[in-house]
Amino acid sequence: MKLLTLNTHSLIEKNPSLKAKILAETILKEKIDVAAFQEVNQSISAEGIICSDIEGDIKKDNYLSEVMKNLGEKHGYKGIWLPIKNGYGKFDEGIAILTRFEILRVEEFYVSKIIDPANWKTR
């Protein structure tokens, strides 16, 4: 099994669409089975969308959604995106799992005592 972990910085980076494309190409080339991402952003103000391959409240500019578009449906990846906190006053910042395997159950919990999305210490 091949695993990948990555702090994506997502929409904070320059050229996020290009970086999502490069990430998807790398996942395919390396035949990654499971990828865990942090700092997977979407704009708070963006319009919501329905994405059949990703569990979660996905918005139009969600970074995992961009990676998934570049992977293409034929490779069979599924994803989960969970919001954690607000970032820089303009992003929903979260974590994501991308996998080729069937997702049987999702269980979410905080590891910090603070659970306020407006507080940057929320984890």
Q: What is the mean pLDDT of residues 87-116?
A: 94
Q: Are 62 and 96 in contact (CB under 8 A)?
A: no
**Could you read off the pLDDT of 13-36 as tens digits, one per residue?**
899 999 999 999 999 999 999 999
Does the structure show a pLDDT above 90 at 119? yes
Q: What does the alpha-carbon distance between residue 36 and residue 101 come to, in Å, rounded to a whole number? A: 13
pLDDT of residue 71: 95
Side-chain-side CA neighbours of residue 53 (13 Å)? 21
**Could you read off the pLDDT of 36-89 as tens digits, one per residue?**
999 999 999 999 998 889 999 999 999 999 999 999 888 999 999 999 999 989
Confidence of residue 110 (pLDDT cuts 50, 70, 90): very high
Q: What is the mean pLDDT of residues 88-112?
A: 94
Q: Are 75 and 122 in contact (CB under 8 A)?
A: no
Contacts 24+ apart (CB under 8 A), 62-65: 63/8, 63/10, 63/11, 63/16, 63/20, 63/37, 63/96, 64/37, 64/40, 64/96, 64/98
122 is written with which tokens? 């929320």
pLDDT of residue 74: 85
pLDDT of residue 48: 95
| 54-55 and 78-87 beta bridge pairing | parallel
pLDDT of residue 52: 86
pLDDT of residue 28: 97
